[in-house]
Amino acid sequence: MSSSVLSALHEVLGSRGLLAAESVDERYLVDVLGNRGEPPLAVIRPADTRQVSAALAICHAAGRPVITQGGRTGLALGQLPRAGEIVLSTERMNAIEEIDPDAGTATVQAGVVLQALQEKVEPQGLMFPLDLGGRGSCTIGGNIATNAGGNRVVRYGMARELVLGLEAVLADGTVLDGLKPLLKNNTGPDLKQLFIGSEGVLGVVTRAVVRLFPLPADRTVALCAVADFGRVKALLRHARAGLAGDLTAFEVMWDSYYDRAVTLLGRAAPIAPGRAYHVLIEACGTEAAALADKVERMLQGALEQEIVADAVLAKSGAEIAQLWKVRDLAIEASRLLDPIVPFDVSVPIARMEAFVAEVQAATKAVDPRCDLLVFGHLADGNLHLAVHQPPDRPEAFHAIEQAVYGVVGRFRGSVSAEHGIGWLKREYLQHSRSPAEIAVMRTLKTALDPRNILNPHRIFLP
Ligand code: ZN
C-alpha cells in the first residue's frame, strides 16, 4: 500500500519534491538539542500550496500520517518523525511574496526563515518584531503553528498578534484561503486563530500576511540589581509608567541564574553578583536623545525610591550587546546543572515568588540534591526553570516533572508558555486545560482531521 502512496505523491510532486526513505537526509530526523526521531516513510517537499493540497489529499485517502516540519527548532519533540509517518517539509516554500510598506504588511510563504524576513524589511525602515534564539533557522510557518513568543512580547505580542491573514490546508487537501491583509475583519469566528499555536494538528499553514512596524531608530538597555521580589514588581510598574510603549523587554534573572551566568562571562560582571534579582530592561524609540533621557529619568526615579539597589546603563551598541550577553547565556548557564529537567511555564506575576518557593520545596522533596535555576520574560509571566536531576537517579526526571507541573496546576499557570506541548508534555496538558477544554480541542481535531493524519498524537495522548 505504501508504494502506491509514494508513486501517487511522485506524480504530483516530482523528483525534487519526494525523497523516499533510503535518500532521506539525517537533518530531517534530529532537532536542535540532538533528539532523534524514527526514519520516516518519505520526506515530501512541496513547492507551493497546490502541491501541499494534492499531497495531503493522497495521504488522507490512504490514511497515511504526515508530520509537518519547518526549521526543526521546536523544543517539545513535536516535529520529529515517528515510524511510518511522512515528513512534510516547507523548506521549498520560502518566498517573501510581497512587502507593502504603506500597509505595514508582508506576505510570506510558510518556509521563509525568520531572520530572512527581518533582514529583508530592515532596509525599508521596517521591522518584523518577532525575535527568538532560533531566528537563523526557524520558519514563519513554524512560528505561527507554535505561536512563538521570545524577547519582545511585552511590546509587540506573540505570533498570534502579528498575523493578519492566513492560508492553511486541511487534512483532506481543502485550501482555506484567509490571506486577507485586514486588521479589522469581524465576519464570524476567526478561523486563522485555529491554526495559530495548534502545532499543526488542525491543518498545514502555507502562507501568511504578517504585520510590520517602523524600525526603531534607537535602543537603550539597562541592567538593575534588585533586593527582593516586591521591588521587582515595583520596578515593572515603574518602567511601564516611565517608558510606556517604548518598553520592549523586561527580563528577570534570579541569583541562581545570574551568579552562574557571570562566572561564564570570563570578565568583570556588569554588576557584581550578590543581589537576589537582576533585571534587564530594554527600550526602543524613534528619537535617540528623547529615549536616553526617558530611560535615565526612569532609572533615577527607581534609585531614589530605592526600588533598585544598583544599575548600569549601556551607552553604545557594544555595551548593549554586553548586557544582553548575560541573558543570552541561558543555555550555557542551565547546562552547568546538567543533567537538567527544563521547564517553560507561565504563572501570574503576583504569585511568582510563592510559585518559585513551592517549586523549590517540591523538587527538594523528590531529592534534596535537586538544584534550581530561574530566569524569564517576567513581564509576560513566563519563567524558564532548569532543575538539576541527580545523575544516579534517572527515574527522578519524571518525578521532577510531575512535582513541578503539579505546582503549576495549583497556581493556575501554564505548563507551556512558549514551547508548546508537542510530544514531550502531552501527559501534563491536563494541568493547564480542563476536561471540558480538552474535549472541545479533540472535537475540533476530529472535525477537521477525521482520519487523524496531521501530526498524530502530538498535543493529545492516544
Ligand atoms: Zn523564552
- pTM for the model stands at 0.92
CA dist 399 → 387, 390, 394, 411 (Å): 11, 12, 10, 19
Give phi and psi for 171, each to the nearest 5. -55, -40
Helix, strand, coil percentages in the chain from 3-state DSSP, rounded to 5: 40, 25, 40
Q: 214, 239, 270 — which closes off a domain?
A: 214
198: CA distance to ligand 1 center in Å? 18
Instruction: Tell me, in angstroms, the distance from the centre of ligand 1 to residue 124's CA.
Output: 28
Would you say residue 267 has pLDDT above 90?
Answer: no
Is it the case that residue 1 has pLDDT exceeding 70?
Answer: no
For 318, the domain range is: 218-329
Q: Could you tell me if 302 and 244 lie in one domain?
A: yes
The answer on 321 and 240 residing in a single domain is yes
Q: Average pLDDT of 214-242?
A: 96
* Residue 345 and residue 318 share a domain: no
Residue 89 grid coordinates: 517539509
Q: Say if strands 204-211 and 163-169 run parallel, antiparallel, or are unpaired.
A: antiparallel
Q: Output the domain CATH number for residue 53.
A: 3.30.43.10
Cell 479589522 maps to which residue?
A: 184
Residue 437 lies in a domain: no
Cα 377 to middle of ligand 1, angstroms: 7
Q: Are residues 184 and 208 in the same domain?
A: yes
Give residue-wise pLDDT tens across range 321-377: 999 999 989 888 998 999 999 999 999 999 999 999 999 999 999 999 999 999 999
Residues 108 and 128 in one domain: yes
Is 22 a residue whose pLDDT tops 90? no
**How many angstroms does the Cα of residue 180 sit away from the middle of ligand 1?**
30
Q: How far is the CA of 75 from the centre of ligand 1 (A)?
A: 11
Alpha carbon of 289 to ligand 1 centroid (Å): 30
Q: Are 119 and 103 in contact (CB under 8 A)?
A: no
Give the distance (Å) from ligand 1 centre to CA of residue 384: 7
* Number of domains within the chain: 4
pLDDT tens-digit series, residues 279-308: 999 999 988 889 999 999 999 999 999 999
- Between the CA of 232 and the centroid of ligand 1 the distance, in Å, is 19
* Domain end marker among 308, 329, 350: 329
Q: Cα of 148 to ligand 1 centre, how many Å?
A: 9
With contact defined as beta carbons under 8 Å apart, do 137 and 234 qualify?
no
Instruction: State the Rg of the chain over Cα.
Output: 23
Burial 11-35 (b: 16+ CB within 10 A, else e): ebbeeebbbeeeebeeebbebeeee
Which strand ranges, in their side-by-side order, compose the sheet holding 204-211?
96-100, 105-109, 204-211, 163-169, 175-178
* Those residues with Cβ within 8 angstroms of residue 398's Cβ, 6 or more apart along the chain or in another chain: none
In the reported structure, the alpha carbon of residue 251 is separated from the centroid of ligand 1 by a whole-number distance in angstroms of 10
Ligand 1 centre to CA of 265 (Å) is: 20
Whole-number Å distance, alpha carbon 418 to ligand 1 midpoint, is 7
